[in-house]
Structure 1
Amino acid sequence: MKRAIVAIVTDYAPPATRGGAVRALTAMTGAIHDRVDLRVITRDHDALTGAPLEVDSSDRWVRENGIQILRLSRKAVILRSLHRTIAETGASNIFTNSLFSRLTQKLLARRCLSSTALPPLVIAPEGELDAGALAVKPLRKHVWLSLATRTGLLRNVTWKAASEIERAAIRRAVPGATVTLLPYVTRPTPALGQRGTKVTGNGRLLFLSRIAPKKNLRFLLQCLRNAPQGTELTIVGPIDDTAEWESCKRIIRSLPPGVQARYLGEVAPADVWRHYQAADAFVLPTLGENHGYAIEDAVRAGCPPLISDRTPWSFLGDEAAGFVLPLDDSATWTAAIADIVAMDEDRHAAMRARCHAVARRLTSDEKLVDGYVRLLTGTPTD
């Protein structure tokens, strides 16, 4: 039986590692590529910084892990017809994982101006439409949203949400939107070594995320100004916003004696697990997440999360597998950090065990994979 051809347009695909969107795309394509003929159109460089990626070839199709991939050079992104490239694949459907990507904007404009029918389009905004994300560079985003809705650029688009929170955010931003709810395809937890014993009076905190206003590292560092001695924060992740990082560095220099914060830079995906294993808690005071892969990884590694109440993981607080706190009360964050520092091994081990219990429930089933196949190919639901 001939498989349906689906074109995937994305700013980030492996070997890029930036953010959860790459994780989501990799997991989805890995789960469905034996049932759908996927043609991925992406960049050979980082869309944010322009830095080249380590790829074997640019501007030509290559086959990797059973998937056809075209990585466009910076020149080709500007000059090459995205519509013609997709047409040449014979794709019957198109999927993109960003609304604000220049590639997506180019695609939407071509759909609006074309006199011929173009393949159906599915957009998975990956949290771009939640309030926290829209608050970052809001003018540019709101102008584009207003233009897109008023001119009909988003007409006949199907949206994919990963959670009820994201579905509500999409419908607020795009009234009348058709939204399909599909949780993320999850990946298995790798074999992890034995972690060390929790030392009372010492709290090893881990911030593993992009350094950007939405991730709210500055708020966490401000909370550390009142944290007890023995608090140690390790910061891991790429610097997306240099002004934000400069503000963070000023706070780090002002931390009191006995409270430390160090930045290790960006690490390869395979290396993140050892950081979770070495930490007593994962901390992310995010302004909003539609999934939060870093939170999921922390749970899988048995590293109790201390997170804001703006993610789909708020149930961790109810199950005593982590701390879930509001962002309008920094004192509660400082108190939670003090609690982690004072925690003994027995109590920490019990919390780790509850994390592992949650992790055992995070397994994608065949029904979810079927849902992705139907969404991307436009197959009606039975």
Structure 2
Amino acid sequence: MFCEKYTLKILVTADYFYPSIRASGPIRSLVNFVQKFSPIHELFVLTRDRDPNASEAYPDIVAKQWNEVLGIQARYVSPSENLGQVIRETIRSVGPDTIYMNSLMSPLTRSVLRFACRQGTATPDLLLAVRGELSPGALAIKPIRKRIFLQSGKVLGLFKGVRFQASSADEVRFIEHWFPDNKIHTAMDIPSEVIGQPKTRPSGDCRFVFNSRIAPIKNLEIAISAFESLNASHRGFEGILEIHGSPTDQEYLVKILRLLGRCGSHGRHCGPYRHDQIWDILGDASFSILPSRGENFAHAIYESAAAGVPFLISDRTPWTAAAHNGCGWVIDPDDLDGWKNAIINAINMSHDDYLRASEKCIEAAREMQSRAHHQHEALFLS
């Protein structure tokens, strides 16, 4: 734990923050960070005043001024404001020791980097959490725009002196590829404090829950294809795929719903959920499923483990070791037969094997939580 003399004033920037319900894992990580460290440090948050693709601002939030939320001060920026001016005024009024930027590609991050570049050596310590955006899977989405920003930013010196936060060993390598001369610190996302107890296998239909953003990188298509194929080829197929989460855009959601319709009664779209509802969702689940093409931390998998729910995941997450240790199955994101086999094996899992897997999940969640707290305690003292 920090000594009093190490108390810092930290300005956190993020596109989305509480009370967002559509931005998924990064929001949960930030909320957990604030709740963990606000008793130790003086925290301020600068964020947008509305959810992704939302036309209305959050209710009960006043834009253009500081709001007290979760025991800290948060400034919500409206679309009508000049972002560069807001950044300048906020940094000068707060006078932070550290600016903790969340998301490499965020307009807020770009504005902070431009401000710092103009100010030179007089700027605060700059810490940037990449949040998985340099993984091959993430860079494959709108690649030209992202690579232009990375390359031009390096030429202009925007990243000079910036410290990077990586959430895994894989992410360290991704950051080193682009920024070999910058300091990199490993600190995984801070997960929820909620950890349940090992559970017995739920009775009734075998429910496979997807609980994450409905976005191309999550690779939902392969899971839906697996359920469609199994429903057509296996008489009495008992599996049901439930999709919980917010879409990144309506066009992609329409595509997913069209594919899901082919599964008949074996596919359900349940829509967005508040974070406090996830424990009820997982409480009734048999398994969780995440065929993602790239994950930074994967709060969806942590929550599944913390609820004692075994999981089926791709080999592009930090949770492969836990899965191999008895928590579930690891499958190549493009291996349709592999997903089908894992789903059938899960359905056929005995009650004793399920309880052992649930116990392993709880163990893995506790270990991840402890490691994340220790890593963050060191992050701001580096």
State the TM-score, normalized to the length of structure 1: 0.90
* Residue aligning to 1:148: 153
CA gap 1:236/1:77 in 2 versus in 1, 3 angstroms = farther
The structure with the greater share of residues assigned to helix is 2
Counterparts of 2:177 and 2:54, CA distance in 1: 31
Query: Post-superposition shift, 1:320?
Result: 1.8
Q: Corresponding residue for 1:40? A: 45
Q: Residue in 1 aligned with 2:12? A: 8
Cα distance, 1:174 vs. partner? 2.4
Paired with 2:272 and 2:111, the residues of 1 have a C-alpha distance of 31
Question: What CA distance in whole angstroms lies between the structure 2 residues aligned with 1:79 and 1:357?
Answer: 45
Q: SS at 1:146's partner residue?
A: helix
The yes-or-no answer on 1:219 pairing with 2:222 is yes
Distance, in Å, in 2 between the alignment partners of 1:373 and 1:121 is 10
Relative to 1, partners in 2 of residues 1:79 and 1:130: Cα closer, same or farther, differing over 3 Å? closer
| Contact 1:133–1:288, Cα closer than 8 Å, also in 2 | yes
Which amino acid in 2 is paired with 1:236? H
- Which segment is superposed worse, 10-19 or 281-290? 10-19
Deviation at 1:198, TM superposition (A): 4.2
1:203 to 183, 206, 224: 206
Mapped partners of 1:192, 1:51: distance in 2: 39
Query: Unaligned 5+ residue runs, structure 1?
Result: 376-382
Return 5+ residue gaps in structure 2 as ranges: none
Q: Secondary structure at the match of 2:242?
A: strand
Q: CA 1:72–1:192 in structure 2 vs 1: closer, same or farther (change >3 Å)?
A: farther
Q: Which moved more, 1:70-79 or 1:188-197?
A: 188-197
Q: Deviations over 1:92-111 (max 9, x none)?
A: 22111111111111121222
Task: Give the letter aligned to residue 253 of structure 1.
Answer: G
1:141-193 deviations in Å (ceiling 9; x for gaps)? 11111111121111111001111111111112323231011223333225579
Equivalenced residue count is: 371
Deviates more, 1:65-74 or 1:126-135: 65-74
Specify whether residues 77 and 27 from structure 1 end up closer, same or farther in structure 2 by C-alpha distance, changes over 3 A only.
Answer: farther
Q: Following TM superposition, by how much is the alpha carbon of 1:251 offset from its aligned partner in structure 2, in angstroms? A: 1.8
Secondary structure in structure 1 of the residue aligned to 2:268: strand
Distance 1:297 1:73, change over 3 A: same
How many Å separate the matches in 2 of 1:116 and 1:362? 36
Match of 1:378 in 2: none
Which range moves more in the overlay, 85-94 or 184-193?
Answer: 184-193
Percent of matched pairs sharing the same residue: 28
Alpha-carbon distance between aligned partners in 2 of 1:194 and 1:163, rounded to the nearest angstrom:
29
Instruction: Supply the distance in 1 between the matched residues of 2:8 and 2:343 (Cα, whole angstroms).
Output: 51
1:294 aligns with 2:300: yes
Aligned to 2:138, the other structure's residue is in SS state helix
Tell me whether 1:248 sits opposite 2:256 in the alignment.
yes
Residues 297-329 of structure 1, C-alpha deviations (whole Å, 9 max, x = no match):
101111111000001100123212100111232
48, 57, 71: which is aligned to 2:62? 57
Letter matched to residue 213 of structure 1: P
Deviates more, 1:151-160 or 1:1-10: 1-10
Question: For the structure 1 residues 181 and 57, does the alpha-carbon distance in structure 2 shift closer, same or farther, using more than 3 Å as the test?
Answer: same
2:350 is matched with which residue: 344, 358, 365? 344
Alpha-carbon offset, residue 47 of structure 1: 4.3
Q: Within 2, Cα distance between the matches of 1:293 and 1:128?
A: 16
**Any conservation in 2 of the 1:7–1:94 contact (CA below 8 Å)?**
yes
Q: In structure 2, do the counterparts of structure 1 residues 187 and 115 end up closer, same or farther at CA, with 3 Å as the change threshold? A: closer
| Per-residue CA distance 1:111-162 (angstroms, 9 max, x = gap) | 2233672212110011111111111111211111111112111111100111
Instruction: Quote how far apart the aligned CAs of 1:78 are.
Output: 3.9
Distance across 1 between alignment mates of 2:136 and 2:127: 21
Q: 1:288 to 1:277 in 2, by over 3 A?
A: same
Deviation at 1:247, TM superposition (A): 2.0
Q: Which residue is equivalent to 1:231?
A: 239
Q: Deviations over 1:255-302 (max 9, x none)?
A: 3x6x61011110111111111121111000001111101100101111
Please give the residue correspondences for 1:271-286 in structure 2 after superposition, counting only pairs within 5 Å. Answer: 271-286=277-292
Single out whichever of 131-140 and 359-368 deviates more from structure 2: 359-368
The amino acid across from 1:355 in the alignment is C
Shift of 1:204: 1.2
Q: Is the 8 A contact 1:186 1:364 kept in 2?
A: no
**Paired residue type of 1:64:** V
Indicate the SS of the match to 1:226: helix
Q: Which residue does 2:326 correspond to in 1?
A: 320
Instruction: Label 1:197 to 1:265 Cα distance change in 2 as closer, same or farther (>3 A).
Output: closer
Aligned-partner SS, 1:40: strand
Taking a change above 3 Å as real, the CA distance of residues 206 and 77 of structure 1, as seen in their structure-2 partners, is farther
| Partner SS state of residue 362, structure 1 | helix
Judged with a 3 Å threshold, the aligned counterparts in structure 2 of structure 1 residues 6 and 209 are, in CA distance, closer, same or farther, namely: same
Residue type of the alignment partner of 2:163: T
Alpha carbons of structure 1 residues 354 and 196: separation in structure 2 relative to 1, 3 Å: closer
Residue 330, structure 1, aligned to residue 336, structure 2: yes
